[in-house]
Amino acid sequence: MAQAEGGYYVPHGSNWPIIGSVGLTALVVGIALYLEGIGAGPYVLAAGVLITAWMVVGWFGDVVREGVKGLYSDQVDRSLRWGMIWFIFSEIMFFAAFFGALFYARALSVPWLSGEDPATSRLLWDSMVLSWPTAGPGMADLEWKPMGPWPLPTINTLILLTSGMTLTIAHHALKEGHRGKLIAYMWATVALGTIFIAFQSYEYYHAYVDLNLRLDTGIYGSTFFMLTGFHGMHVLIGTIMLLVITLRCMKGHFRPESHFGFEATAWYWHFVDVVWLGLYIFVYIL
């Protein structure tokens, strides 16, 4: 391999993108078939998940191997950084759509339905008074309770904030070359992420069983479960990323001056953290 020092690494041909296209297509077609009740759905979906997972493992494996070989110059490193930054920005905008739905419901559609705009409410649900949280005028007789901020969501907030701290401590340890400290704090971060997921699973169980709060409990249930659900999926992905990074730390893949894989994962984790703070304030407290 002719390696010009500091050159820009342009990989030559890769099978992973086309495998990823097939996998992603099978995955979404499988879900669509399942939703339409067509028998092959689950099998196509399973195939899609397996192929996509194979692609993710293989593609990232290639990148890790190239990185460890030292093929990535500073300039490649910067490309990867820009890539990750803009990917996270796209994720923020994805969440923005759901936050937008929440704000719209709370600031506009629910007040309008409850008489602030007489033309709407009088024609449809006269004399209905709504407040937040609500399942909407069509489910006025439904018995359910909203999810309060105490105790689990607040504990989960502390857990995520702590995980951000342990991750930062691990990062400093990596930069200062304290291998033992790095690995210990990485495992702590993974553990905190896992506990968060466990608590949130219990929270969902509690919502469905004790509070009768479900995905179809009107606009409150819709926004609550979609926002916290998508966030939970991101925590899951982030925890898997942290786990992989922890194992890579143990293998000694990272150097104090060069460890972009670590940093990208840390950025992602902080992003997940910040989104949670938004959720905690706007979904649970206010």
Contact yes or no for 152/199 (Cβ under 8 A): yes
Of 14-22, 153-161, 232-240, 251-259: span binding other proteins (CB under 8 A) = 14-22
What would the DSSP string read from start to end of 145-166? -PPPSTTHHHHHHHHHHHHHHH
User: Is residue 64 within the footprint of other proteins (CB under 8 A)?
Assistant: no
The residue within the footprint of other proteins, chosen from 153, 164, 221, 261 (CB under 8 A), is 221
The DSSP code sequence of 16-43 is: HHHHHHHHHHHHHHHHHHHHTT-TTHHH
Closest distance to other proteins from the beta carbon of 65 (Å): 12
Closest CA to 162 of 276, 264, 81, 262: 276
3-class secondary structure, 258: strand
Q: How far is the CB of 46 from other proteins (least distance, A)?
A: 16
- Residue 16 to residue 3: CA distance in whole angstroms: 23
* Closer by beta carbon to other proteins, 79 or else 212: 79
Among 56, 64, 109, 208, binds other proteins (CB under 8 A): 109
Q: According to the binding rule CB under 8 A, does residue 277 interact with other proteins? A: no
Among 44, 110, 207, 241, binds other proteins (CB under 8 A): 110
Task: Region of 252 please: left (phi>0), alpha (psi -120 to 50) or beta.
Answer: left
Interface residue with other proteins among 49, 56, 71, 183 (CB under 8 A) is 71
Smallest separation, CB 158 to other proteins (Å): 29
| 204 binds other proteins, rule: CB under 8 A | no
Q: Which of 40, 129, 198, 215 binds other proteins (CB under 8 A)?
A: 215
Q: What angle do CA 173, 247, 259 make, to 5 degrees?
A: 50
Provide the minimum distance between the beta carbon of 164 and other proteins in the complex, in angstroms, as a whole number.
23
Nearer of residues 78 and 255 to other proteins, judged by Cβ: 78
Q: Which stretch binds other proteins (CB under 8 A): 155-163, 188-196, 209-217, 245-253?
A: 209-217
Q: Please tell me the distance from the alpha carbon of residue 204 to that of residue 104, in angstroms, as a whole number.
A: 24
DSSP string, 167-233: HHHHHHHHHHT-HHHHHHHHHHHHHHHHHHHHHHHHHHHHIIIII---TTSHHHHHHHHHHHHHHHH
Looking at the Cβ atoms of 124 and 165, the one nearer to other proteins is: 124
By CB under 8 A, is residue 212 in contact with other proteins? no
Residues 22-51 that bind other proteins (CB under 8 A): 22, 24-25, 28-29, 31-32, 35-36, 38
C-alpha distances (whole Å) from 249 to each of 68, 181, 185, 260 are: 12, 11, 11, 12
Q: Does 211 bind other proteins (CB under 8 A)?
A: no
Residue 96 in contact with other proteins, rule: CB under 8 A:
yes
Interface residues for other proteins in 125-184 (CB under 8 A)?
130, 134-139
CB atoms within 10 A of CB 108: 12
